[in-house]
Amino acid sequence: MPDICIVGAGPVGSAHALALARGGVDVVALDARTRGATLRGDRTLALSHGSRLVLERLRVWSDLVSAPGAVTPIERIDVSQARGFGSTALSASDAGVPALGYVVSYVALQAALDAALERQGVDVRYGTQADRIDATAERARVQGGGEPIDAALAVVADGTGTAVPGIERIRHDYGQVAVIGRVAVDGGHGGLAYERFTPDGPIALLPDGDHYAFVWTLAPARAQAMLALSDQDFADALGASFGRRRRVAGRVSGRRSFPLVLEFARPPVAARTVAIGNASQTLHPVAGQGFNVGLRDAHELSRIAVDTPADGLGSGAMLARYVAARRADRWAGIAFTHGLVHVFASDLPALGWPRGAGLALLDAVPPLRRAFTRAMLFGV
């Protein structure tokens, strides 16, 4: 019987499995995809500097940056609101780090983690879908297409919420969709990212290779109308939302959309079972916090598991320790992204001045700006 069975070997589950194996924990990981494949194609992930440090500890970062076009540094972030005053600029030099974050290819990151798992000799069972997890006082049993797997602890990292008795999932539908894609810009990007708050919702422009990746939050009907536009008309509409802050050229590609929800497990643990990553909390993409919070879940759980004696793995005491260690950062990530969506996407005139004042204060007080930036980079 393995010490830990991980359901889901995407980036969060893979990072957790790798950290456990390197710490001497006997681990098996199950993943529905075939070896070398991804389930949803390529897309961009926003990694904070703190997440880079985690990947460096796992000896994955050097492989990732060596892949052509896989990593683009974010050196500065311009934050502003439409139809109102107030803005701020966050910079890597101000925070004392080489980059505030990185835009990373999902496919390249998964490939680097898969290769690291293989080098480490981790038992990853591809093409294996878990359906349910049952637990007793002595073990967790993972049910799937093959023989059940018993382990001292089951970790759900598949992002879809494999059925776990005792873990309730709270869901809030934002009534919005994210339109994503890529757009070329005149003059390059110089490592400068943009976060723009508009009455429709936030827009992010993220440096990605020699162009920008964009995430545009819109009401469903408006999103469909934007997707139906020609590339040039879409680029014009995107540029109009930025006003004078960023000129957007044509050459838009890869437009698609997905619905936006907040979903979180309460609590994220049950008998001999714990949920991490998107299985624990699925966040709005504003400020790019989702993957980083999930990676911190994986890092903290692996640290606690490695420090726990074999006969204590999966125990109530171990799970309580994990919940306590992650409580502040996890709830801060949920509250921060949820709050930004509601405060900055409101058209109420009464909120315009406080929003602008908040951005202006952040820009005018360097210690406050540095504290805010470090919380974005490393969590709470």
Would you kindly state where each structural domain of the chain is located, as residue ranges? Answer: 4-71+104-171+261-344, 174-260+348-378
Side chain identity at residue 329, one-letter code: D
* pTM for the full predicted model: 0.92
Select the more confidently predicted residue: 298 or 44. 298
Q: What is the pLDDT of residue 5?
A: 97
**How is residue 39 written in tokens?**
């389930």
350 pLDDT above the threshold of 70: no
Determine whether 364 is exposed, middle or buried from the number of CB atoms within 10 Å of its CB (0-12, 13-18, 19+).
exposed
Q: Give yes or no for a contact between 133 and 143, defined as CB atoms under 8 angstroms apart.
A: yes
Backbone angles phi, psi at 232, to 5 degrees: -65, -45
Side chain identity at residue 171, one-letter code: R
Q: What is the pLDDT of residue 286?
A: 86
Q: What is the pLDDT of residue 83?
A: 74
Q: What is the pLDDT of residue 250?
A: 66
302 pLDDT above the threshold of 80: yes
Q: What is the pLDDT of residue 81?
A: 84
Q: Give yes or no for a contact between 268 and 276, defined as CB atoms under 8 angstroms apart.
A: yes
Per DSSP, the three-state class of 134 is strand
How big is the chain, counted in residues?
A: 380
User: Is the link from the previous residue into 2 a cis peptide, with omega within 30 of 0?
Assistant: no
Q: Work out the pLDDT band at 379, boundaries 50, 70, 90.
A: confident
324 pLDDT above the threshold of 70: yes
Q: What is the pLDDT of residue 222?
A: 95
DSSP annotation of 34 reads: P
How far apart, in whole angstroms, are the C-alpha atoms of residue 168 and residue 279?
11
Choose the weakest-confidence range: 8-17, 115-124, 125-134, 161-170.
161-170
Q: Work out the pLDDT band at 348, boundaries 50, 70, 90.
A: low
Q: What is the pLDDT of residue 256?
A: 93
- Determine the average pLDDT of the residues in 79-105: 89
**Superfamily (CATH H level) for 4-71+104-171+261-344:** FAD/NAD(P)-binding domain (3.50.50.60)
Q: What is the pLDDT of residue 261?
A: 94
Q: What's the CA angle centered on 11, arms 339 and 177, to 5 degrees?
A: 40
Q: Work out the pLDDT band at 4, boundaries 50, 70, 90.
A: very high
249 pLDDT above the threshold of 70: no
Q: Give yes or no for a contact between 148 and 49, defined as CB atoms under 8 angstroms apart.
A: no
Q: Work out the pLDDT band at 186, boundaries 50, 70, 90.
A: confident
Select the more confidently predicted residue: 271 or 167. 271
Element (H, E) at 336: helix 316-344
> Which of 338, 330, 242, 241 lies closest to 285 in space, CA to CA?
338
Percent of the chain with pLDDT over 70: 93
Percent of the chain with pLDDT over 90: 63
How far apart, in whole angstroms, are the C-alpha atoms of residue 26 and residue 371?
39
**How is residue 265 written in tokens?**
């497990």
Computed over every residue of the chain, the mean pLDDT equals 89
Q: What is the pLDDT of residue 82?
A: 81
**How is residue 41 written in tokens?**
């194609």
Q: Work out the pLDDT band at 43, boundaries 50, 70, 90.
A: confident
232 pLDDT above the threshold of 90: no
Q: What is the pLDDT of residue 345?
A: 60
> Which of 313, 292, 295, 291 lies closest to 304 in space, CA to CA?
313
What CATH code would you report for 174-260+348-378?
Answer: 3.30.9.10
